[in-house]
């Protein structure tokens, strides 16, 4: 059966404002590429249309899909991209009803069989990890889906779920993602601006699952456990990217790259033994940071570490994630800086329980920290997150899936207004970046990340227009 995968773009920005994310940050769809590699290993060919890297109108996209004459079209959708994906599926079905449509990704895994009751153009759902489930559906030619774990299907017209599929325990059994099947890789794909010293670059995910209980995280795809690739597998993956595509820097997007200290130590030692001169970024939890870890990271080519700080209000932190002493954060971040590693802080605005005082406390706190840059998102209550169940107690929620992308305030805490949140969000960005220390840091990018500077200057008109619109 001929399979075509689609990665819909969705409404991934702010209404009425030009989306510049696809100029500065396009990540390969690693989940779909992993499924495609698994299918290829077992003799099934597939193709992909990535709407992030190749934007096109829905009409043109449907024409392109039909011209390739697939038997199966698979969609991987976040909450914000689901409705776009469904419109495409509906148009495909109207013109070629025999094509089988399969939906997977975070939104399908969270909503489950109810999607089949409400969205008739979807034939099947893949719930959880998709590699083996998709393979078995193709091998069976979609006969008796109820016998395949991890499948949503219809029985007598009603959506049903088969047995739960057990997570894959040895991630090293998976082949590397099928980058070779991704048109435009690596030139069309890039890490966030000023996030790497060299180009071309790419991203890797070397673990699945998370044992922590943060209120805002949706873990419906990979569940609560924590599984990871071995250091040798990771470095062979990096070596392949360098050899085959000239990749010189990678970003490990794992939330818990530093969780297992033994794995980190083996990774750093083996990387040195291999002489693999590829730099990297990673994400770490502050609880894991100490001098030993930082020495390992710096010695193995770590260029930047991202930390999820989220809030500077202790009561908000206690409510939404494992609490850590705010006084310790600045000390640990300074340790990272002293090792010569860049530091990026990740924050949220509009969390349940926040008011203007709490948000201003976070802004002031962020400005007190030794951060090189920040990323501030607008709190979005995804259906699979624990906090989703109790939202009504803390504020009003406009459950418009197309706006649920962390760039729109769909949840308004009690006692606040959307205009108030937007103003505080803009103030956060403006106050952080309009400081001499930050300006000097970006001036240093002329020699630390020259390709980012060139990309920035090339798109300066769009950046200035966005700055005016958002009042940054």
Domain spans of the chain? 3-161, 191-470
Contacts within 8 Å (CB) and 24+ apart, 144-153: 150/126, 151/124, 151/125, 151/126, 151/127, 152/108, 152/112, 152/113, 152/115, 152/116, 152/124, 152/125, 152/126, 152/127, 153/116, 153/124, 153/125
Task: Report residue 101: phi and psi, to 5°.
Answer: -110, 135
Quick one: DSSP state of residue 334? H
Coil, helix or strand at residue 49 = strand
Q: The domain 191-470 belongs to what CATH superfamily?
A: Aldolase class I (3.20.20.70)
For domain 3-161, give the fold: Rossmann fold (3.40.50)
**Closest of 237, 228, 235, 234 to residue 255, by C-alpha:** 228
**What does the pLDDT profile of the chain (472 residues) look like in tens digits?**
999 999 998 765 566 666 666 677 899 999 999 999 999 999 999 999 999 999 889 999 999 999 999 999 999 999 999 999 999 999 999 999 999 999 999 999 999 999 999 999 999 999 999 999 999 999 999 999 999 999 999 999 999 999 999 999 899 999 999 999 999 999 999 999 889 999 999 999 999 988 787 888 887 777 667 899 999 999 999 999 999 999 999 999 998 899 999 999 999 999 999 999 999 999 998 888 999 999 999 999 999 999 999 999 999 999 998 767 888 899 999 999 999 999 999 999 999 999 999 999 999 999 999 999 999 999 999 998 889 989 999 999 999 999 999 999 999 999 999 999 999 999 999 999 999 999 999 899 888 999 888 888 887 887 777 677 776 6
Measure CA 435 to chain center: 29
pTM for the model stands at 0.94
Judge whether 3-161 and 191-470 match in fold: no
| Cβ 70 vs Cβ 99: under 8 Å | yes
Q: Provide CB contacts within 8 A for 170, sequence distance 6+.
A: none
């Amino acid at each position: 059966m001929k399979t075509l995968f689609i990665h819909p773009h969705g409404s991934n920005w702010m209404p009425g404002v030009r989306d510049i994310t696809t100029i500065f940050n396009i990540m390969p769809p690693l989940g779909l590429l992993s499924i495609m590699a698994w299918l290829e290993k077992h003799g099934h060919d597939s193709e992909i249309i990535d709407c992030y890297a190749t934007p096109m109108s829905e009409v043109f996209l449907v024409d392109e899909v039909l011209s390739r004459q697939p038997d199966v079209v698979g969609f991987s959708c976040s909450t914000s991209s689901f409705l776009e994906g469904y419109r495409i599926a509906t148009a495909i079905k109207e013109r070629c009803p025999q094509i089988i449509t399969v939906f997977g990704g975070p939104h399908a895994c969270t909503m489950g069989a109810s999607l089949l009751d409400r969205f008739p153009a979807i034939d099947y759902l893949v719930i959880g990890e998709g590699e083996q489930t998709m393979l078995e559906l193709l091998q069976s030619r979609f006969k008796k889906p109820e016998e395949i774990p991890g499948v949503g299907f219809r029985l007598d017209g009603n959506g049903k779920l088969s047995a739960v599929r057990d997570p894959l325990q040895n991630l090293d059994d998976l082949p590397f993602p099928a980058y070779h099947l991704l048109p435009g890789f690596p030139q069309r794909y890039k890490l966030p601006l000023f996030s790497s010293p060299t180009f071309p670059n790419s991203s890797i995910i070397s673990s699945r699952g998370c044992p922590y209980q943060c209120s805002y995280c949706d873990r419906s795809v990979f569940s609560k456990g924590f599984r990871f690739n071995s250091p040798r597998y990771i470095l062979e993956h990096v070596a392949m990217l360098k050899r085959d595509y000239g990749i010189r820097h990678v970003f490990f997007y794992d939330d818990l790259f530093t969780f297992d200290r033994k794995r980190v130590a083996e990774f750093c030692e083996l990387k040195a033994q291999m002489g693999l001169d590829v730099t990297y970024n990673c994400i770490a939890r502050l609880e894991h940071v100490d001098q030993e870890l930082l020495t390992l990271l710096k010695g193995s080519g770590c260029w930047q570490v991202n930390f999820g700080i989220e809030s500077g209000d202790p009561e908000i932190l206690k409510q939404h994630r494992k609490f850590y002493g705010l006084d310790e954060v600045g000390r640990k971040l300074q340790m990272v800086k002293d090792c010569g590693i860049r530091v990026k802080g990740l924050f949220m605005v509009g969390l349940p329980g926040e008011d203007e005082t709490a948000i201003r406390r976070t802004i002031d706190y962020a400005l007190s920290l030794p951060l090189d840059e920040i990323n501030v998102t607008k709190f979005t209550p995804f259906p699979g997150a624990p906090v989703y169940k109790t939202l009504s107690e803390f504020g009003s929620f406009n459950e418009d899936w197309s706006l649920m992308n962390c760039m729109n305030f769909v949840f308004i805490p009690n006692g606040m207004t959307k205009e108030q949140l937007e103003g505080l969000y803009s103030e956060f960005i403006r106050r952080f970046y309009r400081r001499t220390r930050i300006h000097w840091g970006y001036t240093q990018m002329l020699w630390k990340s020259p390709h980012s500077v060139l990309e920035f200057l090339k798109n300066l008109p769009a950046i200035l227009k966005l700055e005016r619109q958002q009042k940054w």
